[in-house]
Amino acid sequence: MITIKKIETLKPRLKIRKVGELMHLAYSGEVLESEYIESLLSIVLSSELVSLDDKAFFERSFEKFLSGDLLSAEDIYFRVLTILGEEVADWDLLGSDGKLDSSKRTVLPHRLLLDRVRSPFNIGAIFRSAESLGVEHIYLREGCGDINSPRCLRTARGALDSVPHSIISSLDEVEGPLFALELGGKRLPEFVFPNKGVCVIGSEETGVSPDALALCSDRVSIPQLGAKGSLNVSVATGILLYSWSLS
């Protein structure tokens, strides 16, 4: 367990995030001594990031927790996230470190190759769907958007920590078989998915690159009923992954 002295050396945001994580651990069953908990409260109350209203909330919540109200620890954790502008869905399965618990995932031999997907938002959304639908690995070809951008991280909601991924400079780094999600392919309801393989997802503007498409043994398309010519790339990927997970 990290010492109070060590917590006090952290930068302001890290300091109160650590308090939140420790209270999440307490909610999960970690036993913290009363004196230790009181020291955590002192750290929060002395933080320049915490408003007067928040300080009053923390005083009440820590007091309730020390009186045996276990849920108050989780209230503290989520208030810390709110102060930091961060979110964790309360239905997520979290580990002792407060991050998504990867051991709870069912992993399928399904991989994705993002072929110059530019939008950090779309990349984050794809990671979130991939985490939920058993993707084993995501390759990001050079030219993709920044996976460390705030927009990507906010949309992924922790999925980048849970789904293994790598940035590649050459298609030789990808082990097939490959197939593409692209216009002009077999209709999704009739498509026979490989048990193991890589689906190539192209950029929002130009689709799958010719050199990547040349390596694909097949292509699949999602039939549409509207006047729009295409779906958002992250939405299309989610539909494909769900169908693949059921095959």
Closest Cα to residue 151, out of 190, 123, 188? 123
Is the same domain home to 112 and 178?
yes
CATH code, domain carrying 184: 3.40.1280.10
pLDDT at residue 228, as a whole number: 75
pLDDT at residue 43, as a whole number: 95
pLDDT at residue 86, as a whole number: 74
Per the structure, the complete domain to which residue 59 belongs is given by 4-84
Is the same domain home to 112 and 231?
yes
Reduce the DSSP state of residue 174 to 3 states and report it.
Answer: coil
Is the same domain home to 106 and 206?
yes
Is the same domain home to 68 and 108?
no
Closest Cα to residue 200, out of 163, 245, 233? 233
Domain endpoint, select from 31, 56, 84:
84
CB–CB of 126/201 below 8 Å? yes
Is the same domain home to 111 and 71?
no
Over residues 85-115, the pLDDT tens digits come to: 876 554 455 555 556 666 667 899 999 999 9
Q: Is a pLDDT exceeding 50 seen at residue 144?
A: yes
Percent of the chain with pLDDT over 90: 76
208 found inside a domain: yes
Domain endpoint, select from 84, 119, 134:
84
Is the same domain home to 110 and 204?
yes
CB–CB of 188/194 below 8 Å? no
Phi-psi region of 115 (alpha: psi -120 to 50; beta: other; left: phi over 0): beta
Q: In whole numbers, what is the pLDDT of the chain averaged over residues?
A: 91
The Cα–Cα gap between 188 and 244 comes to 10
90 found inside a domain: no
Reduce the DSSP state of residue 244 to 3 states and report it.
Answer: helix
Is the same domain home to 216 and 148?
yes
Is the same domain home to 226 and 139?
yes
Percent of the chain with pLDDT over 70: 93
Angle (nearest 5°) at CA 112 between 110 and 115: 165
Over residues 232-242, the pLDDT tens digits come to: 999 999 999 99
Lowest mean pLDDT among 76-90, 154-168, 172-186: 76-90
Domain endpoint, select from 84, 116, 149:
84
pLDDT at residue 91, as a whole number: 44
Over residues 173-222, the pLDDT tens digits come to: 999 899 999 999 999 999 999 999 999 999 988 899 999 999 999 999 99
198 found inside a domain: yes
Task: Quote the number of domains for the chain.
Answer: 2
Is the same domain home to 130 and 234?
yes
Q: How confident is the model at residue 154 (pLDDT cuts 50, 70, 90)?
A: confident
Is the same domain home to 106 and 218?
yes
Is the same domain home to 40 and 116?
no
